[in-house]
Amino acid sequence: MTPEEVAKDAEGMFVMRTLGRNMAWLLHSIEAGKAAGITQPKQEQFKR
């Protein structure tokens, strides 16, 4: 696809805008959690 064709793909552009907003919200939420002193949960080790 050319850049012009991509810009005409209304559904694709909508999905990318939504993804961008959701990612921004998630990053802000992670920062707010860190500022509030919330730590990441410890990762569980996979056992075979």
Q: State the pLDDT at residue 13.
A: 95
Residues of the chain with pLDDT under 50: none
Rounded to whole angstroms, how far apart are CA atoms 4 and 21?
23
Query: The pTM is what?
Result: 0.70
Domain residue limits, the chain: 3-36
Q: State the pLDDT at residue 7.
A: 87
Q: State the pLDDT at residue 20.
A: 98
Q: State the pLDDT at residue 29.
A: 97
Q: State the pLDDT at residue 1.
A: 84
* 25, amino acid identity: W
Report residue 19 as tokens: 């993804």
